[in-house]
Structure 1
Amino acid sequence: MPGLERLWLNHNNFSGHLPPELGDLGAQLQWLDFQENVALQGALPRELINLTGLVRFEWGGTQLCSPSDDVFQAWLRTVPNRYGHGPLCGR
């Protein structure tokens, strides 16, 4: 989606897993919000590391976990405003 800067999907009663294709949204994406979709579960897609322009990422109020590998965790720390309370996957 060329030109997409903000994607708010919060409070939509989504369920299941997040698709890895989210990582294809492009470096111009700045905000990504999935919060309060309590039936979302599984791991955050590793492909999110392709979203290099992200400045706000919200996934609190879900059952999503964060991949524990060093590459993903390093990317996550580059996002200045991140709001999520999920555990590391596999722990």
Structure 2
Amino acid sequence: MYDQIVDILCAIKVDQPELRQSLSPATELNNDIGLDSLQMIQFMLKVEDQLNVIIDYDEFEYEHLQSIDTFMTFLKNCQSQEQSLYEDVQK
């Protein structure tokens, strides 16, 4: 998952080819990478698409962006896109 997140960040920050070498699990997504609001939206959408997760924005907090590692922990608790959002309705 870490490598996929790094790939997504590098694809969004194309103007910073040195970014990949400076990233680590402790890298802060906001302060160290400097995603603007449009880039943050692109990042979140690509994460959902490429990692097959549904980010629950009601549960999402700014603190989940403290580091790549913190963000990965949050993502592990997100529902997979393969699961039905309405499983209880189908029963």
Same fold by TM (over 0.5)? no
Question: Could you say which TM-score interval applies, normalised by the shorter chain?
Answer: under 0.3
Considering fraction of residues, name the structure with more strand. 1
Task: Return the structure number with greater relative CO, CA threshold 8 A, min gap 6.
Answer: 2
Q: 1 or 2, which has the higher helix percentage? A: 2
